[in-house]
Amino acid sequence: MKFSCSTSQLLQSLHLVSRAISGQQALPILGNILIEAEGKRCTVSATDLELSIVTSFEASIENEGAITVPSKAILNFAQYNTDDEVLLETSEGTQLKCTSKHAKTIIAGEAASEYPTISAIKKEVSFSLDAGPLLDALHMVTFASAKSTLRPVLSGVYLRAEKGKLVFVATDSYRLSEYSIPMKGGDTDISCIIPAKVLEELKSALSVKKEDGEKENKKEKTKVEISLSSQQIELAVGQTQLLSRLIEGKFPDYQQIIPKDSNTKVKVSTKELLTVVKRMHYFAKEINNNLTFNFKKDSLHIHTPQTQIGNDEATLDVSIDGSANKIALSSSYLLDFLTHVDDDEVEVHITDSMHPAVFHCPSAEQSLHLIMPLRLQEE
């Protein structure tokens, strides 16, 4: 194998696929990246057997071939090489010689035949989405999934097609986010749970593609091609593919916990509320992140319980529609949500202290965020 390529393209591709490499590999070779030169392109791949990322870029290929090398070693070479072009060639079978105008690095690798095969999925359902709305959905949903894998179905994002739209849902059982986007051919039968990690990596791939698109053609609308089988998903963005297993199991029937009516509705400045919650979190985290919200006629009073290090309270001028109300919510979950909101205002719907608080963004009627209540602290 022998080819030359742009250092920046090589580095960008290596960074992208290396995100599929987990900290703890079942096999040492899973810490490697597979490099293949064929035709006029170089393809780089990585996998942890659950998630695989494959991408390619143009290269000037003299001899076709393949090798697998430790990701940290090849990334180290590409990251700290100041030359615009590099020459990669195999020597003595399993060594990769990396040469540029001012550098020469030799990396000990392994035969490509030793690397696990990354197979294309058997496509049962295929459709495409515009990257913009998809990114908006992922931005507002993925953070609500469970970080623990104790209940695997909660560590993913539930995806279903419904009446011309595609609905994304994530919950860790204490909070929930739902976001829907229009879908052509929305009658397609889709119902699956995608690992949140895969969708986070898709966001990274799309941000890279967005940068490239802005350089090449600002009018270009990036598309994401999505293919599903009964057990796998493939997400394709340009020359990059992400392949992953789906999460098996039944997603909770979450719609039954969304309050149908509310007694109190209030619009509040996102920036003001975020600032107050950030300040109060210092005290609230001492007692289960507990913040008490008192909704009155024309004001919202928020306070923390008395803690060993003190307490805090604030009053915001707001317009309230409905009756006075009170609820305790987690400052940590509020911060998670508010830092993902781009709107100047958020609308809060409260039933009572025993039912979840529901948040809406005025610019995105297709979204909602729900936070379960905490026990009210005695005043």
What separation in angstroms does the CA of 286 have from each of 12, 98, 306, 310, 328?
A: 42, 53, 9, 10, 15
The encoded tokens of residue 184 equal 């052509």
The C-alpha atoms of residue 212 and residue 157 are separated, in whole angstroms, by: 28
Indicate the domain borders of the chain.
2-114, 125-254, 258-371
Dihedral sign, CA of 57, 61, 65, 67? negative
Query: Of 114, 118, 96, whose CA–CA distance to 27 is shortest?
Result: 114
The C-alpha atoms of residue 285 and residue 307 are separated, in whole angstroms, by: 10
The 3-class secondary structure across 45-98, one letter per residue, is EEECCCEEEEEEEECEEEECEEEEEEHHHHHHHHHCCCCCEEEEEEECCCEEEE
Query: Of 154, 222, 226, 224, whose CA–CA distance to 190 is shortest?
Result: 226
Say how far residue 183 (Cα) sits from the centre of its chain.
Answer: 20
The pLDDT value recorded for residue 210 is 59
Q: Which helix (H) or strand (E) holds 113?
A: none
Question: Does 258-371 match 2-114 at the fold level?
Answer: yes
Side-by-side strand order, sheet with 175-182:
191-195, 156-162, 165-171, 175-182, 364-371, 357-361, 345-350, 264-269, 319-322
The C-alpha atoms of residue 142 and residue 49 are separated, in whole angstroms, by: 22
Asked if residue 347 lies in contact with residue 318, where contact means CB atoms within 8 angstroms, the answer is no
Summarize pLDDT for 164-198 with one digit per residue, the tens: 899 999 999 999 999 999 987 656 789 999 999 99
> Residue 372 in 3-state DSSP?
coil
pTM, rounded to two decimals = 0.90
The pLDDT value recorded for residue 256 is 93
Taking phi over 0 as left and psi of -120 to 50 as alpha, with beta for the rest, 313 belongs to beta
Considering the domain 125-254 in this protein, what is its CATH number? Answer: 3.10.150.10
Q: Which residues contact 352 (CB under 8 A, 6 or more apart)?
A: 263, 325, 327
What separation in angstroms does the CA of 90 have from each of 112, 245, 249, 305?
A: 11, 33, 45, 65
* AA identity, residue 314: A
Query: Of 226, 209, 229, whose CA–CA distance to 217 is shortest?
Result: 209
What separation in angstroms does the CA of 97 have from each of 60, 79, 112?
A: 16, 16, 16
Task: Name the CATH architecture for the domain at 258-371.
Answer: Roll (3.10)
> Under CATH, domain 2-114 is a member of which superfamily?
DNA Polymerase III, subunit A, domain 2 (3.10.150.10)
The C-alpha atoms of residue 130 and residue 105 are separated, in whole angstroms, by: 41
Residue 219 CB burial class (10 angstroms; 0-12, 13-18, ≥19): exposed
The pLDDT value recorded for residue 218 is 40
Which residues in the chain come in under a pLDDT of 70? 185-187, 209-220, 378-379
Residue 256 backbone phi and psi in degrees, to 5: -70, -15
Quick count: other Cβ atoms within 10 Å of Cβ 234?
19
